[in-house]
Structure 1
């Protein structure tokens, strides 16, 4: 096991949500004390909703915590499959309603048309992020970086490339719409990298993906097979 990976196990998804919310809130508090601001990058999907609700009630100065997404489906924010909608309804409530939020969907006709504007907006956030919270699909994708996708090589490139890239419509069972995804540059530009998963099959996939090998078959290796930043795996059965 790479020394930079730490596992946090909980007996239920709800207990895990509370553990993860406490961890993230502590990192945000430390950043607020140290530099007067903080940056949190979160992911969509169904898994993070209990975590969002737990985190939204954490006591900290949310007005100085910037929030953005690791990826977005190119859908309006009132669509059921919009990650922005999930964040607004799940996280940006109660105390956390004060947090400045940078959505990735900006109403442009396509992710390609939006990339330059969104990249510029992302550059204006207070990097490095304090926490980037990633999910993982059953195919090993993370953010909207899918196995063997044509844009994957550009998204994984090291150096000062763009912080986001357009992603073509992925194969089923993923939601069949194009996306905008943060790249390696942005996802690893953080003090703490978190992988948040539930279920035995995903834990088994993570352990398999921790073995040396190329990133292309399992893009979650972007987080697991790197020594740039500590990686915390939060898992519940």
Structure 2
């Protein structure tokens, strides 16, 4: 069903993915005078962010947010916002509008309404471009296997834009975009790196249990997702 765009190196993959994202954003600005981009965190995305930061785009018309965030201080080494400010919101992209998923509240659960309103008011919807990653446990965004709130995050009839999450297999409380927001994106990409992630991807395709591997909820309902894979 899925035919990944395969590349021999991470740099080749990230260069191609950055070009696709740039094209999508340019078209969005041309059609609607603004664009929105949601990105995942983690070390695997750093090179993509750096390439995008040097790309000439009408960044002042582009609104950027995160697919998910760890509930840590914005200067914490595990903060996805810190990752974006360090590697993306520089150079050509310094004038982009960034919309944080973090508040001063003690827990993400206390901030759901505030962040929901923030995104509705500041982010052009539906999201024009959204880039997902995938963990070796089959999680995507911060939708983690067997987590207490997972069913709410995967609920396609929910009006929630974000959900709080406490992973069973990873540190930090989280906040994440919900499945309906992710699937409603105009252009959806999944970035995979290495043989292990390729094996996990095949395992996800072979089963139906979304509680065990939440990435399946995306793959089952979004056949148009574009897979970018580096060996």
Length-normalised TM-score, structure 2? 0.96
In the TM superposition, residue 6 of structure 1 has moved relative to its aligned partner by 3.9
Aligned to 2:190: 195
Query: Could you tell me which residue of structure 2 aligns to residue 177 of structure 1?
Result: 172
Secondary structure of the corresponding residue to residue 190 of structure 1? coil
Q: Which residue of 1 aligns with 2:103?
A: 106
Contact 1:193–1:223 (8 Å) recurs in 2: no
- Specify the alignment match of 1:151 in structure 2: 149
Alpha-carbon distance in structure 1 between the residues aligned to 2:158 and 2:30: 29
Q: Which residue of 2 aligns with 1:166?
A: 164
- Displacement of 1:161 in angstroms is 1.7
TM-score, structure 1 length as denominator?
Answer: 0.93
Q: How does 1:42-53 map to 2 (within 5 A)?
A: 42-53=39-50
What is the match of residue 67 of structure 1?
Answer: 64
1:110-149 → structure 2 map (5 Å cutoff): 110-124=107-121, 125-149=123-147
How many Å separate the matches in 1 of 2:176 and 2:104? 16
More helix by share: 2
Q: 1:225 aligns with which of 216, 220, 229?
A: 220
Structure 2 partner of 1:54:
51
* 1:79 corresponds to 2:76: yes
Distance in 2 (CA, whole Å) between partners of 1:115 and 1:205 is 31
Which of 8, 23, 39 is 2:36 aligned to?
A: 39
Q: CA deviation at 1:160?
A: 4.3
How many angstroms apart in 2 are the aligned matches of 1:6 and 1:132?
19
Q: Is the 8 A contact 2:147 2:168 kept in 1?
A: no
Q: Unaligned regions of 5+ residues in structure 2, if any?
A: none
Aligned residues of 2:49 and 2:84 also touching (Cα < 8 A): yes
CA RMSD across the alignment: 1.2
216-225 or 37-46, which moves further after superposition? 216-225
1:80 counterpart SS class: coil
1:24 has 2:21 as partner: yes
Report what 1:206 is aligned to. 201
**Number of residue pairs matched?**
230
Between the aligned partners of 1:122 and 1:39, the Cα distance in structure 2 is 11
**Segment of structure 1 superposing worse, 109-118 or 158-167:** 158-167
Contact 2:146 2:168 in 1 (8 A): no
Q: What is the aligned partner in structure 1 of residue 211 from structure 2?
A: 216
**How far did residue 107 of structure 1 move?**
1.6
